[in-house]
Structure 1
Amino acid sequence: MLDVGLALVSALECAAEGVGFARDAGLPVAVGVLFGLVAGSVLVVRRMWPVAVVLVAVAITPAEMGYLLSIVGLYTLAASEAPRRIIAALSGMSFVGVFIVAFVQTTRSVRDTPELGAEWFPPFVALTMAIGLTAPSVLLGLYVGARRRLMESLRERADSLERELQLLAERAEERAEWARGEERRRIAREMHDVVAHRVSLMVVHAAALQAVARKDPEKAVRNAALVGDMGRQALTELREMLGVLRSGDGQVAPRRAERVERAGRVPESESGSVPLAAVGVAAAAAAASASAGSYGPAGSAGSPGSVGSAGSAGSRGVVEAGEGPCLAELEELVGQSAAAGMVVQLSVMGEVRAYAREVEQTAYRVVQEALTNVHKHAAGARTHVRLAHRDAEIAMQVENEPPPEPGAASSAGLPSGGNGLLGMKERVAALGGVFVSGPTDAGGFRVSAVIPSGG
């Protein structure tokens, strides 16, 4: 509508100016009016062909018509995407055309009016008219074109940023979903580690209690006390875990310290097993006879030694405060399995030192789950637990010999969820370690892991 209106006004202007042009040229007035209507109406295509509009305006400048056509055409050309050299060339042509026509008309007027006969007057008037009819429209068109391009660039940038934000939001949602899945798996591993081991020992002790209840009431009382103690420990760990999930602060250090203080006190062995002190001595002798031989996925490091009071005290001295079990409780863990009837040997090699909480917790859980599997699948088998403190890593291995009765499982009928080995592998891999498990040539089973110490 704007272009049509401008074209109509321009056509009327050129038609009116065509009357004078026809008289000066000796043409019929109708021809001049028609010529003006056609020339002025070209303004309707200014957006599609601004160069053509300016050329028409320059062409009819000698006829002293098309001033609106020239002004609007130059503005449209300057605001368009045309190359700057074309804009400059056409603007210069229009400037020269207006200057020449104005100079000729002013000179003629001065000649007819002697009182305006100053020599400077025609050039001044011509220059003023040329600048006034070309410069404002060109400068305004350049400004509007630059602003329009800037706004388009800002809109494109805003659209690009919106797309990027949308992609980031989608990726954040994917990461959040992945994190939720990882957290669910972590909680499942923790629940499995806490419940499976304690409850497995409780079931084993309950079976032993049922067997000796009438024959040896005193021994049955001791087994019942062990069942109660293990049940309380399982409930305590579950409460700690649920407390962390509820509050998120992880303030379970007091209970952890209590467990560390209890690490040196191990129940006496029952059901034919040897005391843990004897287990440590036997393990030290076995390790010494092997001359610090290879165990685990990458061999041994340091000197062998039994886990006596000095070892447990050293472990207690390097434990960090935090949630979850630690290596200082490993002796107690092995002692509970020994009290449940397992013939188990524990040996520690290398210098005991501090580790990150995640490293100690993972090492503890690997040994715990391996012992639980022995209770489930190889009841009565002799088991060796080995721990090595190396320069940049900690290695652990739990290996059981074939059970006394081939193919025998726990007499208590312990169920197996099938997630123990997978959970151990995930834990170790999450810390950049290596986990290997499988049957031995002798018919037993071996679980080995190496975890970087983290500096």
Structure 2
Amino acid sequence: MTGTGEQQVGAGRDGPLWWGRRRSAVLDVGLGVVSALECGLEGVAFAGEAGLPVPVGVVFGLLVGATLVLRRRWPVAVVLVAVATTPAAMGFLLAVVGLYTLAASEVPRRITGLLASMSLVATFVVTYVRMQGAVEADRWYVPVVSLFMAVALTAPPVLLGLYVGARRRLMESLHERADSLERELSLLAERAEERAEWARREERTRIAREMHDVVAHRVSLMVVHAAALQAVVGKDPETAVRNAALVGDMGRQALTELREMLGVLRSTESVVRSAAVPSPVPVVAAVPVVGVGPVGEEGPSLGALEALVGQSRAAGMVVELEVHGSVRSYPPEVEQTAYRVVQEALTNCHKHAPGARVRVRLAHREQEVAMQVENGPSDAAVADAGLPSGGNGLVGMRERVQGLGGVFVSGPTEAGGFRVSAVLPGAGGGGLP
């Protein structure tokens, strides 16, 4: 067994053999030399008492004392040698350091207690026998002094070793916890970075969807009005002036909404930059709610549907608006998503069904709001405005609706037209299940 108070937790291994560090090896070798010299000198007296040649006693003492070098590797063996040589009255340093090393090591406590008890008893017996024949005193004097000597030579090194071992284990536990916390903080930082990247992607997608809705709808109406202006400029100047004013209004509205969204983009970039500053606490980026308008702005709402339909009527489209149920307010993200769905559906009607009749239905239900935009077949007599299509309109509408936990359905009708339907939860929902 290894492990004494001298070993530093987490230190690198650079010592020979079983020693973790070079200075530990130097210390043990030094203690072994001192113990060997002590036992060698005490071996002279032992040889005289046992009737052995002095060289034999000296060599025996040197060998016994030198076993202290093995205290980190085999502390149990060192203590057993010390107990076995107690009758020879040698190995004071061997016994004290051996007991300390045993108590500080990872040896089971029952074994430590057993060996400490053996050392205590052996010291008491040897001291009692030697004093019994050499000292004439009261009958209580010899046992009390023997017990005191046994306890004094056994208890302090054992208690000190237990304290050092417990302290070392506590330090190891604290270092392990610190390493574990460091790993957890690193993992949290990685997750925070992943969430921040995910939030950035979501924000880019949201802004792209908003810009698509604004540009597609406003510019589509501008193109339609411009075509009408070109057709009537020479025939009906008043109509041409009116269409030119509408084109200007559409352009200004588009620019206003684009500026608002670009302001959101700049504020988002500043938040991301501030989140990139090192901090002792991991920063988790705020995830924008799908469909929420620019910061400080509620964005379009269901109350603006009449104006939205009016813009399409002004562009020459025949649009009917039906509202069912009692009108009430909804969370901003619900109202904006409903508005954008109708807006994009009307834009698709301008692109793909010029001259078709369009019906817009809005239903306020108990726990939800539903909207439907349906157009009939395109009028072949109406010239196509030549509006480009990126193919992302229906995808964007579906993402908006499903992001709020709603249902989106689109497809052709039996009459040859096209229908877009969406249902949104009145409380805003919580995203996809």
Question: TM-score normalised by the shorter chain: which range applies?
Answer: 0.7 to 0.9
Aligned residue type for 2:155? A
8 Å CA contact retained: 1:431, 1:452: yes
Aligned partner of 1:357: which letter?
Answer: P
Match of 1:149 in 2: 169
- Residue in structure 2 matching 1:16, options 36, 41, 45: 41
Q: How many equivalent residue pairs?
A: 376
**Equivalent position SS for 2:135:** helix
Counterpart CA distance in 1 for 2:410 and 2:150 is: 94
- Alignment-mate amino acid for residue 406 of structure 2: G
For 2:57 and 2:266, the matched residues in 1 are separated by 93
| Residue 207 (structure 1) shift | 0.3
Q: In 2, are the aligned partners of 1:106 and 1:125 still within 8 Å (CA)?
A: no
1:213-224 pair list within 5 angstroms: 213-224=233-244
* 1:332 equivalenced with 2:294 (yes/no): no
2:252 to 232, 237, 241: 232
Aligned AA (1:328):
G
Q: How does 1:424-439 map to 2 (within 5 A)?
A: 424-439=397-412
2:97 to 72, 78, 94: 72
Alpha carbons 1:8, 1:41 under 8 Å: kept: yes
The answer for unaligned runs of 5 or more in structure 2 is 1-25, 269-295, 429-433
Aligned with residue 57 of structure 1, among 69, 82, 101: 82
Structure 1 position 150, deviation (Å): 0.5
Find the partner of 1:138 among 154, 158, 180.
158
Cα deviation for residue 96 of structure 1 reads: 0.4
Kindly provide the amino acid, as one letter, of the partner of residue 202 in structure 1. Answer: M
Q: Tell me how far 1:238 sits from its aligned partner.
A: 2.1
**Residue of structure 2 equivalent to 1:280:** none
Larger Rg: 1
Deviations 1:307-336 (A, max 9, x none): xxxxxxxxxxxxxx9421111110010111
2-structure distance, mates of 1:243, 1:20? 97
Shift of 1:247: 5.6
Partner deviation per Cα, 1:268-317 (whole Å, 9 max, x = no partner): xxxxxxxxxxxxxxxxxxxxxxxxxxxxxxxxxxxxxxxxxxxxxxxxxx
Moved more, 430-439 or 368-377: 430-439
Partner residue in 1 for 2:127: 102
Cα pair 1:322 1:357 within 8 Å, conserved = no
**Per-residue deviation at 1:244?**
4.2
**Mapped pair 1:373 → 2:348:** yes
3-state SS in 1 of match to 2:414: coil
2:334 corresponds, among 354, 359, 366, to 359
2:108 and 2:325 map into 1 onto residues whose CA distance is 79
Letter in 1 for 2:140: W
Partners of 1:450 and 1:243 in 2: how far apart?
30
Q: In the alignment, what sits opposite 1:287?
A: none
- Name the structure 2 match of 1:128: 148
Supply the distance in 2 between the matched residues of 1:75 and 1:444 (Cα, whole angstroms).
94
Superimposed CA distance per residue, residues 112-150 of structure 1 (whole angstroms, 9 cap, x where no aligned partner): xxxxx2222211211111011100000000000000100
2:388 counterpart (382, 394, 415): 415
3-state SS of paired residue (2:366): coil
Equivalent residues in 2 for 1:144-293, closer than 5 Å: 144-246=164-266
Deviations 1:198-242 (A, max 9, x none): 110000000011011112122111111111111122122223333
TM-score of the superposed pair, with normalisation by structure 1: 0.80
Rounded to whole Å, the distance in 2 between the matches of 1:378 and 1:77 is 93
Q: For residue 343 of structure 1, what is the aligned residue in structure 2?
A: 318
Q: How far, CA to CA, are the matches of 1:394 and 1:134 in structure 2?
A: 86
Measure, in 1, the Cα distance between the counterparts of 2:209 and 2:177: 47
Shift of 1:433: 0.7
Kindly report the root-mean-square deviation, in angstroms, between the aligned alpha carbons of the 2 structures.
1.5
Q: SS where residue 334 of structure 1 aligns?
A: helix
Matching residue's letter, 1:142: L
CA contact (8 A) 1:17 1:64 kept: yes
Displacement of 1:168 in angstroms is 0.4
Cα deviation for residue 423 of structure 1 reads 1.1
How far does residue 443 in structure 1 lie from its aligned partner after superposition? 1.8
**What is the CA deviation profile of residues 25-75 of structure 1, one whole-angstrom value per residue up to 9, with x for unaligned ones?**
110001101111111111111111110000000000000001111101100
Deviation of 1:450 after TM superposition, in Å, equals 0.5
Following superposition, the deviation at residue 192 of structure 1 comes to 1.1
Distance in 1, Cα, partners of 2:113 & 2:31? 24
Q: Provide the rounded CA distance (Å) in 2 between the counterparts of 1:232 and 1:381.
A: 27
TM-score, length basis structure 2: 0.84
- In structure 2, C-alpha distance between the alignment counterparts of 1:35 and 1:247, rounded to whole Å: 85
Is 1:404 matched with 2:429? no
